Amino acid sequence: MLKRVVASAAIVASSLVAGALAVPVAAQASTRYGCTYPRVCFYLTPGDWTAQRPTAAYQDVTSTWQTLGSSSRGSAYAFNSRNDDVAYFHFTNGRQVCLRPDSPLYLSQYGTVDKIRISSSSTC
């Protein structure tokens, strides 16, 4: 009888351990420059960039341009925290610039940014 109890306890214990090992671990969200994955963050001023304080963030993949609001239009910097998706920026002068995944960009060098489009493509 004692052998059965010990054997049963061993089976239960090994099942619990196996079950615990099979539980998927949630992916940890990373944050760089104050920008939480999976967002493309905007920093309106150089001071916002230095303080790592995004003023706006976008995360939806779209096939058309999204018009930027007052907290992102004309931003000095952007950071793409996404791992596999690029972001395209449109400027009031008609210029378009692509930002690779996990990369920062000094937007002011191209003009006044006014639109964004996030693509599921991993390359520009």
Tens digit of each residue's pLDDT (9 = 90 or more) over 23-42 = 444 444 567 899 999 999 99
pLDDT at residue 4 above 50? Answer: no
What mean pLDDT do residues 97-121 have? 97
pLDDT reported for residue 31: 79
Rounded to an integer, what distance in angstroms lies between the CA atom of residue 65 and that of residue 63?
A: 7
Mean pLDDT of the chain: 84
CA 6, chain centre distance (Å): 50
Does residue 49 contact residue 32 with C-beta atoms inside 8 Å?
Answer: no
Q: Please give the angle made by the CA atoms of 122, 35 and 105, to the nearest 5 degrees.
A: 60
Q: Where are the alpha helices (DSSP H) in 23-114?
A: 46-50
Which helix (H) or strand (E) element contains residue 13? helix 2-22
pTM of the model: 0.76
Q: What percent of the chain has pLDDT over 90?
A: 74
pLDDT reported for residue 12: 39
Q: Where are the alpha helices (DSSP H) in 23-65?
A: 46-50
pLDDT reported for residue 57: 98
CA 56, chain centre distance (Å): 13
- Of 51 and 16, the structure prediction assigns the larger pLDDT to 51
